[in-house]
Structure 1
Amino acid sequence: MFELEPIDEQVICHPQEYIINRGGYIWFAELPPAGIVGTCALMKKAEGVFELTKMGVSEHARGLNVGKHLLAHVLERAETIAYDTLFLLTNTKCEAAIHIYEKLGFVHDAQIMQHYGCAYERCNVAMRFVKK
C-alpha cells in the first residue's frame, strides 16, 4: 500500500533497538498452518505515551478477522501497561483498518496529528484510544 519510509526501515530492521529496548512491546498473530500472519507493536514515545505501530496482516490472511483479534489482544494487554496516551498514525487508504480502530475505541484526534503526524509522510489520520 505504501513505500517504506526511512523510519519504517529503521524500526522493522531493528525492532529490538527501536521498540523493545525503549520499553515497547511486539505481538504476533499465528494462524495454523500458515504460521505468523500478523504483527502489531506498541512503541514507547515518552513516559506514559505509546504509539500503536507496525500493525499488519499478510495478504493471504486478510478477511479472516486476524487484524481485529490481534488489535483486541493488544488493547487488552495494554490495560496492564501504565499509559496515559495510546495513539496511532495511518492513512485514509487503510479504510478497513480505520473502521476496526473506530470499532475498538479509537477516535480521530487533531492534537495527536499536530504533535506526531509529521513522523510519516503518508500520515493523514491520527487517532487516540479512549479507555472505556
Structure 2
Amino acid sequence: MQFRRFTPSLAGEFDRINREWITEMFELEPIDEAVISDPQTHIIDCGGYIWFACNDNDEVVGTCALHRKKNGVFELTKMGVSRQARGQKVGEALLMHVLAKAQVIAFDTLFLLTNARCETAIHLYEKAGFVHDDAIMQQYGGAYDRCDVAMRYRPQTSRTA
C-alpha cells in the first residue's frame, strides 16, 4: 500500500469515497456536502491535510483528513475506505499513516467525531489510542446531527488494546 498527500487532481476521489460510505450508513449533511465537494477550500486552505491510500494497482482505495479547527487543534475526519477494499486492513494502515504524520504536526488536541453505529471504526480508533471524551463531545459534537461519539487521541494509552 502506498500513501499520497492531497493534490487537486485527487479531489474527486475524496468526494467519491466519502460520499459512498456516508450515504451507505447515514444522510449527507450540509457540512459533509461542503467538505467533500470542495476539500481544497474546507480542509487544505484552512491548514489541514488529506491523505489517500492506494493499492498495488495505484488505485485510490481510502482517504483520511486532518481538519485544522484552530491553532493546535485538529479533527481526524472523513476517513473512508472504498467498498471493494473493505476488509483488507486499508483503514488500519491509513489511520496509522495519518497518526504518524500527525506526530510531526504541532497539535495539542487531536479528536474525532463519529456515530455508535460505526462499531468497527470505533474499535480501530480505540486500538490506535483514541479515548471517549465528553468535553470533546460538548465542544465539537454539534457539528453533525449524527454525532453521538467523540474521542480524543491519547497515544500513551493506545498500545494496551
Q: Paired residue for 1:27?
A: 51
Q: Secondary structure at the match of 1:126?
A: strand
RMSD: 0.8
User: Would you say 1:60 and 2:84 are equivalent positions?
Assistant: yes
- Give the Cα–Cα distance (whole angstroms) in 2 for the partners of residues 116 and 57 of structure 1: 24
- Give the Cα–Cα distance (whole angstroms) in 1 for the partners of residues 108 and 69 of structure 2: 12
Q: Paired residue for 1:9?
A: 33
Q: Paired residue for 2:143?
A: 119
- Give the Cα–Cα distance (whole angstroms) in 2 for the partners of residues 73 and 2 of structure 1: 26
- Give the Cα–Cα distance (whole angstroms) in 2 for the partners of residues 23 and 31 of structure 1: 27
| Matched residue count | 132
How many Å apart are 1:34 and its aligned residue?
6.6
Aligned partner letter, 2:149: V
Higher percent of residues as strand: 1
Q: TM-score, normalised by structure 2?
A: 0.80
Q: Secondary structure at the match of 2:43?
A: helix
Q: Do the aligned partners of 2:128 and 2:155 also contact (CA within 8 Å) in 1?
A: no
Q: TM-score, normalised by structure 1?
A: 0.98
How many Å apart are 1:56 and its aligned residue?
0.2
Q: Paired residue for 2:99?
A: 75
- Give the Cα–Cα distance (whole angstroms) in 2 for the partners of residues 34 and 6 of structure 1: 31
Unmatched tracts of structure 1, length 5 or more: none
Alignment of 1:84-123 (within 5 A): 84-123=108-147
Unmatched tracts of structure 2, length 5 or more: 1-24, 157-161
Identity %: 66
Q: Secondary structure at the match of 1:21?
A: helix
Higher percent of residues as helix: 2
